[in-house]
Amino acid sequence: MWGVILIIVHAISLTLALAVFLSIYRNNPVKGKLFLAAIMLWGLFSLYKLFIFSTAAGVLSIFMYAAFSTITFRELKRNGPAA
């Protein structure tokens, strides 16, 4: 039960972080890249903690990161930074 709640909360926070990244990157690409680096560090720490909790939760999170990152970068490629 706790594993499911942990994955759902992680998915929500990842979605919000990537939405904020899109907003920052469109206004200022340099600040966006710095924020992306912070998200990546947070992600590595989260993966470490999730793999300690459960291997299945860690693997599911890797797939979640891949899917959300693909969606985010396709959105960036489609619209690009603000002029």
Q: pLDDT band at residue 77, thresholds of 50, 70 and 90?
A: confident
Q: Which domain holds residue 52?
A: 2-76
Q: Tell which wins on pLDDT, 6 or 38.
A: 38
**Do the domain assignments include residue 82?**
no
**Do the domain assignments include residue 56?**
yes
**Do the domain assignments include residue 83?**
no
**Do the domain assignments include residue 18?**
yes
pTM to 2 decimal places: 0.80
Provide CB contacts within 8 A for 65, sequence distance 6+.
Answer: 14, 43, 47
Residue 26 has pLDDT above 70, yes or no: yes
Give the residue among 82, 78, 80, 17 at the shortest CA–CA distance from 46.
Answer: 17
Provide the number of structural domains found in the chain.
1
For residue 2, what pLDDT is reported?
A: 77
12 DSSP 8-state letter? H
